[in-house]
Structure 1
Amino acid sequence: MSYEAIQVTREGKVAVITLNRPPMNPLNSAVFRDLAKAADEFSTDARVKAVIITGAGGKAFAAGADVSEMATLTPVEVYSFCQGSKIAFSKLENLNKPVIAAVSGVAFGGGCELALACDFRIAADNAKFAFPETGLGIIPGGGGTQRLPRLVGATKAKELIFLGDIIDAVTAERIGLVNKVVPADALMEEAMRMANKLAEKPLVAIQMAKAAINLGGNVDLTSGLEAEIQNFVIAFASADGKEGLSAFVEKRKPNYTDK
């Protein structure tokens, strides 16, 4: 499959998406279309068991939305632009495979919002995060006002979004915005290590756990607990569920088939 604004490579069971608009990898409509297309492709590709998203050039994961495109849009057109980001980010957020953001350099505005849509965020020690939109007279429009509070809490999210301050990787890790900080030259190695570790897990169990967690963050506790049970039953009834439990009882290594 061909892409206009991203590059897709595969290393074993891991697919790597590279935002390919260096040096700053701004997000435009073409990027959103490509990300949505890639998510659809990976969702049905049995060879892919984990996905990494990163940015080309090392200076930026993504420096935000492409202001040169946005500035000329009418309100109706900018609504469509935001819908493009919502569709792409939601497809990645709900992809039936784990997704890792490998962040080097700046992740501002839409770039940070893209990272928020991933399951995990690994940051290089040169990474910087910010939501500068209020300084431009606008607000985040790619999920920042919704995903950030769910991750770091409403008060900290308001601080970051209202003030627009830039935070470094260590601060991002401290507040729970990223999972881990590593040296810049080890970023992709660490992301690949995690992706390969995830790829060795039985896929149905990962899918059901992800579905339960994602749904649970948006419903009341009672509904979330019921969804957890339903997803548990699906995993339990899977071939890998049977294999995993049998292997435990028989004290042997399980042989998972992702079924």
Structure 2
Amino acid sequence: MSEDLRDAVKYEAKDGRAYITFCRDEKRNALTYEMFDRLMEHIERAERDDDVRVIVFRGEGRDFSTGHDLGQVGGAEYGFSKEPGARRPSQRARLHFDKRHVEQFRQILYCVKPTLSLVQGYCVGAGLYVVEASDLAIAAEDAKIGHPEQKMGLAGASYLTSWNILAMGPKKARELLLLGDVVDGIEAARMGLVNKAVPADRLAEAGEEWAERIVRLPRDAIAIGKAANHLALDSLGMTSQFVHGYVMHALGTNIRYESDEHNFMKERRNKGVTGAAHSREGRYGEEESGK
């Protein structure tokens, strides 16, 4: 892992809080797989620290996260080669890689410490998965939240489909995932994607208020409460979503595009990541971008 990517996810622990911050503002906090590995290291560090009672996820700069770095998706994550005659990645390579990655979202959901996400700007794709896997989330009212990456070939096969259905109901979950809409923080709170929305200039303050309320609780009470939550999630069958999540993603990255369909990977080759993202959204009548 290069040093700049290690530094793109920072850790600070103080006053009972562990702050994990995405620091790649020049790329709108797009998350590489190396950054996800670093994120997991920080979560494990916080879990081992008995002085930490709550973990706060936040993004430095304009956005929480525009999701997966689009330069690493669509075959690149599996070591796909553009060399003439190169074979496409095998299904086993896809499944092995996706299983490991989806387990990272499971690790967030089943973290032994309470987690709180503070959302500003864009929070889409994998950035939103982090929020969905958190215990609590507060968004700025003008945040832009959704799963537009579903229009790249998944169309509803997200990593956290069970959570989406539980949080929003089957109809709204299908709407969000199938259509790939992006909503503001107020609508996200109404739908159940986040707990509440506040003015952007109050986001940090609102996060500190909730973090302080958690910090004041007894450590054992926090641990018991998290364990009870884990048992409840398992009783609802939530663990199984991490199995169908990686299987569906492996299939989704291997779909066949017909001549009249939008192929993001082909557009990325011809126009670059930004051009491909704008082309994708232009086809579906939207202006939002990111995964």
In structure 1, the gaps of 5 or more residues are 222-259
Name the counterpart of 2:63.
Answer: 60
User: What is the one-letter code of the residue matched to 1:146?
Assistant: S
Q: TM-score, normalised by structure 2?
A: 0.69
C-alpha deviation, 1:217, in angstroms: 2.6
Provide the alpha-carbon RMSD of the alignment. Answer: 2.1
Distance 2:157 2:7 in 1: 23
Q: TM-score, normalised by structure 1?
A: 0.77
Which of 8, 12, 37 is 1:9 aligned to? 12
C-alpha deviation, 1:79, in angstroms: 4.0
How has the CA–CA distance of structure 1 residues 55 and 148 changed in structure 2, closer, same or farther, with 3 Å as cutoff?
same
Distance 1:79 1:70 in 2: 14
CA deviations 1:181-229 (Å, max 9, x no partner) are 11111111111111111011012122222222232133269xxxxxxxx
Distance 1:188 1:220 in 2: 33
The answer (yes or no) to whether the contact 2:53–2:222 under 8 Å persists in 1 is: no
The farther-off stretch of 43-52 and 75-84 is 75-84
How has the CA–CA distance of structure 1 residues 168 and 220 changed in structure 2, closer, same or farther, with 3 Å as cutoff?
closer
The farther-off stretch of 22-31 and 116-125 is 22-31
Name the counterpart of 2:104.
Answer: 88
CA deviations 1:46-88 (Å, max 9, x no partner) are 121111101111x211111111011324445554553343232
Matching of residue 34 in structure 1 with residue 38 in structure 2: yes
Matching of residue 204 in structure 1 with residue 230 in structure 2: no
The answer (yes or no) to whether the contact 2:21–2:57 under 8 Å persists in 1 is: yes
In structure 2, the gaps of 5 or more residues are 79-88, 238-291
Name the counterpart of 2:285.
Answer: none
Secondary structure of 2:64's counterpart equals: strand
Larger RCO (CA within 8 A; separation ≥ 6): 2
How has the CA–CA distance of structure 1 residues 106 and 8 changed in structure 2, closer, same or farther, with 3 Å as cutoff?
same
How has the CA–CA distance of structure 1 residues 80 and 63 changed in structure 2, closer, same or farther, with 3 Å as cutoff?
farther
C-alpha deviation, 1:122, in angstroms: 0.4
Name the counterpart of 1:147.
Answer: 163
The answer (yes or no) to whether the contact 2:156–2:174 under 8 Å persists in 1 is: no
Q: Percent identity?
A: 30
The farther-off stretch of 184-193 and 72-81 is 72-81
Distance 1:52 1:37 in 2: 15
Distance 1:82 1:150 in 2: 23
How has the CA–CA distance of structure 1 residues 111 and 81 changed in structure 2, closer, same or farther, with 3 Å as cutoff?
farther
Which of 23, 27, 52 is 1:20 aligned to? 23
Distance 1:142 1:22 in 2: 25
User: What is the one-letter code of the residue matched to 1:173?
Assistant: A
C-alpha deviation, 1:141, in angstroms: 6.8
Distance 1:29 1:98 in 2: 24
Matching of residue 123 in structure 1 with residue 123 in structure 2: no
Secondary structure of 1:218's counterpart equals: helix
C-alpha deviation, 1:138, in angstroms: 2.7
CA deviations 1:157-191 (Å, max 9, x no partner) are 11100001111111111111111111111111111
Distance 2:52 2:13 in 1: 8
Which of 42, 51, 75 is 1:47 aligned to? 51
Alignment of 1:242-257 (within 5 A): none
Secondary structure of 2:10's counterpart equals: strand
